[in-house]
Amino acid sequence: MILPILWILGSAAVFIFADRFPERVRDQLLPISVAVILCALWSIAVTLSGTATFPSPTDTWVGMVELIESNRIWGDIVASLHRVSWGFCLATLVGIPLGLVVGWNTRTFTALNPIIQGLRPISPIAWIPIAILWFGIGDGAGIFLIFLSSFFPITVGTMAAVRNISLVHQRSAMNFGLHGMQLFRRVVLPAALPQIITSLRIALGVAWLVIVAAEMVGMDSGLGYLINDARNAGSRYDLVVATMLVIGVIGIILDLLIRQLERFDEVRWGYARR
Question: Looking at the domain assignment, is residue 169 inside a domain?
Answer: yes
Question: 161 and 45 in one domain?
Answer: no
Q: Within this chain, do residues 199 and 237 fall inside the same structural domain, yes or no? A: yes
Please check whether residues 38 and 115 belong to one and the same domain: no
Tens-place pLDDT, residues 69-122 = 888 788 888 888 988 999 999 999 999 999 988 887 888 888 888 988 888 888
**106 located within any domain:** yes
Higher pLDDT among residues 257 and 27, named by residue: 257
Asked, for residue 223, whether it belongs to a domain, the answer is yes
Mean pLDDT of the chain: 80
pLDDT of residue 210: 86
Give the C-alpha separation, 215 to 229, whole Å: 11
The pLDDT of residue 252 is above 70: yes
- Residue 129 has a pLDDT of 84
User: Stretch 210-239: mean pLDDT, rounded?
Assistant: 80
Assign residue 136 the CATH number of its domain: 1.10.3720.10
Contact 215, 172 (CB under 8 A): no
Per-residue confidence (pLDDT) for residue 274, from 0 to 100? 43
pLDDT tens digit sequence for 146-183 = 999 999 999 999 988 888 776 665 666 665 555 566 66
Q: How far is residue 83's CA from residue 14's CA, in Å, rounded to a whole number?
A: 40
Q: Report how far Cα 168 is from the mean position of its chain's Cα atoms.
A: 34
Residue 60 in domain: no
29 and 102 in a common domain: no
Question: Do residues 97 and 21 both lie within one domain?
Answer: no
CB 87 within 8 A of CB 144: yes
Residues 185-205: b if buried by 16+ CB within 10 A, e if exposed: eebbbebbbbbbbbbbbebbb
Residue 59 in any domain: the answer is no
> Based on the domain organization, do 45 and 100 belong to the same domain?
no
**Domain presence at residue 58:** no
Q: What is the pLDDT of residue 109?
A: 85
- pLDDT band for 136, please (50, 70, 90 cuts): confident
Counted domains in the chain: 2
Domain boundaries, position 158: 67-268
Residue 230 sits at the vertex; the CA angle it makes with 225 and 231, to the nearest 5 degrees, is: 100
N- to C-terminal Cα separation, the chain: 39
Please report whether residue 56 resides in a domain: no
- pLDDT score recorded for residue 6: 60
Residue 91, pLDDT score: 93
Q: Which of the two residues, 219 and 92, has the higher pLDDT score?
A: 92
pLDDT (average), residues 195-207? 88
Could you tell me if 199 and 101 lie in one domain?
Answer: yes
Question: Pick the residue with more confidence: 134 or 11?
Answer: 134
State the Cα angle at 123 between 117 and 128, rounded to 5°.
Answer: 130
My answer on whether 37 and 73 are in the same domain is: no
Q: What angle do CA 264, 270, 274 make, to 5 degrees?
A: 105
Residue 73 and residue 38 share a domain: no
Residues 30 and 74 in one domain: no
Are 170 and 252 members of one domain? Answer: yes
Mark whether 25 and 151 lie in a shared domain: no
- Please state the pTM of the whole predicted model: 0.81
* Residue 37: count of CB within 10 angstroms of its CB: 19
For residue range 5-64, what is the model confidence (pLDDT) as tens digits?
A: 665 666 666 666 666 667 676 677 777 777 888 888 888 888 878 777 788 888 888 888
Per the domain annotation, does 122 fall within a domain? yes
C-alpha 149/C-alpha 123 separation (Å) is 8
pLDDT at 87: 92
